[in-house]
Amino acid sequence: MFQQRKKKSIGMASAAVLIGTLAIAGCGNNNTEGGASPSAEPQTSPPASASASAAPSGSAAASTEPYTLKWLKAQDISVPYDPENDVVKQAIEQKLNIKIDAEMVDVQQYKTKLNLKMSSEDIPDVVRIDFADDFQKYAPLGAFVDLTDLINEQDTPNIMREVSPEVFEQAKVNGRIYGIPYQGGPGAGYRWDLVMRKDYIEAAGATVPKTLDEYYNLLKQIKAERPDVIPLGGYTAQIGQVKFANNSFDHIFGAFGVTPGFFTEQDGKFSNYDIDPRMKDALLFLQKMYKEGLIDKEFATIKEEQLRAKLYSGKLFSWMGWWSTANDYDTQIETNELIKAKQLGANDKLPDQSGEPFKYLALTDSLTGADGKAVAPMGAPFSQMTAISAKTKDPKRVLAIIEDSLSLENQMLTVWGIEGEDYKIENDKMVTATDLLDPTTKQDKDGHYRGTQSYLFAPGLNGWPRYLESLPLRFSESLDVAINNPYQITDASNYLDSPTKVAKLVELNTMRDSVFTQIIMGGDIKKFDEFVEKWKAQGGTQILSELEASFQQKVGK
């Protein structure tokens, strides 16, 4: 989909963000990144608000009986995993005196499943939910516990250490706190790189492009010299729907000074890049690229695993990639090349390559346009909330569990796993185990799963403990490229109030995705002008008006 992503420069340390893909429910050894499915409208309203009157007292682990938490876990269901045989989950349960009742749902269907549960009597005790639409929709209806009087320096110091009062202020709905802002790891920022086959660039006698013109000319050269290679690939995260996953064409849109979905503000007046005249120019350029065979003909329907197959077999030159995937992709390409050269057996595996420089891939940030500028869609300081269901039987104890989970010791467990097994401390530095799991079974030598980063409550905005120490060379390099992209911009509508945006944005985005796809694949460019008028008439104009009013209120005018 044309979906905005977060970004923030890593001035302090190359820090950042382990896994914005954790965004749904953690990434870890047993999850993969993937888009969330569109919201399903609830059949009924959530229950009346539950508000606890006193702050949690004492440690959650001090209670005698373990507290059972219903947990909706996003999982790549194609990957072997059994929560009851997860030793990290068991260690977390013992440490926090809880029992996690995990219901598995495919990562691509998480949002749809959560929305269905929100309209039923079977709401998980703790939910990870998108702030921009679902959280702001359900919170005023009483779906979540009101935490306003429960979160403070005295009673929840760990939570307050992770999330500042200013961020809590941004996360309020109708002036109340109904959840804990969740970022998904340290830092915030744009975490996508333009990834290309370095060996193909070198064979073409070219260099890594920095401008859109250089990139376009390189794609034409690659197509001419390698007719069986797709110059630019994209994929869909939504099975059976006409949508692009993640940021497939960010680098093209960005060079025209636009990025799909983002609202803009100038002198108090709001607009949206989706209806910007420059978006029309970008779509015409993408249409030309598609017509010239520079874009994969299957980009609107292909799934990520199919894109990977093309990449591994040498049939793909470039694509927009999430920062953490480049390491595995490079290793798989090398494996295939060695097998073709008969230097590696068909079933043989290479040892971990993450500490070595990239061999087959080159990564770069935004391409600049004719004016020497670009944009890359940086996200807001947080995009999701960890909320306690109004249906939970003991909300104060659940909050105490979350508070306990955010101690330094317990974050080490919930993020990194068991010391001495999933990680160890050497010379006062953390080293994570990279060869603990069998790549096929996803189990350790004792037959156990190890779901690190799979059962996190509210890892905060200030960073996971010892995160920077955990990054091998390739991960560090690819993350640096992504988060140090100098062209990042934020959405001007972040945290402004617009009921129409909450109610209508999914519908408007779905219309946009369909129209933009049609145009790229050769549709009449007049469809863009028709889309602009429909966007305005079907809620867009009202959204802009509401954003302007909210903006004026926030700036005190």
Query: 296 with 373, same domain?
Result: yes
- Residue at token pair 């779901």: 451
Query: 303 with 405, same domain?
Result: no
Residue 324, in any domain of the structure: no
User: Alpha-carbon distance 91 to 216, whole Å?
Assistant: 52
Show pLDDT as tens, one digit a residue, over the chain (557 residues).
454 333 333 333 333 333 332 232 333 333 333 333 323 332 333 333 444 444 444 455 555 899 999 999 999 989 999 999 999 999 999 999 999 999 999 998 999 999 999 988 789 999 999 987 799 889 999 999 999 999 999 999 999 998 988 889 888 888 899 999 987 666 567 889 999 999 999 999 999 999 999 999 999 999 999 999 999 998 875 433 444 444 789 999 999 999 999 999 999 999 999 999 999 999 999 999 999 999 999 998 888 888 889 999 999 999 999 898 999 999 999 999 999 999 999 999 999 999 999 999 999 999 999 999 999 998 777 888 999 999 999 999 999 999 999 999 999 999 999 999 999 999 888 888 988 999 999 999 999 999 999 998 877 766 788 876 778 889 989 988 998 899 999 899 988 889 999 999 989 998 999 999 999 999 999 999 999 999 999 999 999 999 999 998 876 65
DSSP label at 468?
G
Residue 503, in any domain of the structure: yes
Residue 500, in any domain of the structure: yes
Query: 278 with 385, same domain?
Result: no
Neighbouring residues of 555: CB distance < 8 A, sequence distance ≥ 6: 268
Query: 369 with 220, same domain?
Result: yes
Domain of residue 230, CATH code: 3.40.190.10
Q: Are strands 126-130 and 98-106 parallel, antiparallel or unpaired?
A: unpaired
Cβ atoms of 206 and 198 closer than 8 Å: no
Query: 221 with 298, same domain?
Result: yes
Residue 328, in any domain of the structure: no
- DSSP secondary structure letters along 98-141: EEEEEEEEEGGGHHHHHHHHHTSS---SEEEEEIIIIIHHHGGG
Query: 73 with 171, same domain?
Result: yes
Query: 367 with 514, same domain?
Result: yes
How many C-beta atoms surround the C-beta of residue 323 within 10 A?
Answer: 28
pTM score of the predicted model? 0.67
State the residue range of the domain holding 90.
67-187+381-464
Strand partners, 70: 101
Cβ atoms of 182 and 379 closer than 8 Å: no
Model pLDDT, residue 170: 84
Among 429, 447, 464, residue at a domain's last position: 464
Helix (H, G, I), strand (E, B) or coil at 487: coil
Query: 266 with 365, same domain?
Result: yes
Query: 180 with 258, same domain?
Result: no
Among 464, 498, 523, residue at a domain's last position: 464
User: Alpha-carbon distance 369 to 545, whole Å?
Assistant: 31
Residue 27, in any domain of the structure: no
Number of structural domains, the chain?
A: 2
Residue 502, in any domain of the structure: yes
Residue 102, in any domain of the structure: yes
Query: 297 with 386, same domain?
Result: no
- DSSP secondary structure letters along 9-24: ---SSS---S-GGGGT
Cβ atoms of 367 and 374 closer than 8 Å: yes
Residue 474, in any domain of the structure: no
pLDDT tens string 318-374: 999 989 899 999 999 999 999 999 999 999 999 999 999 999 999 999 999 999 999
Query: 372 with 515, same domain?
Result: yes
349 alpha carbon, distance to own chain's centre: 29
Query: 255 with 304, same domain?
Result: yes
- Structure-token pair, residue 202: 């070198």
Comparing CA positions, the residue from 48, 141, 101 lying closest to residue 503 is: 141
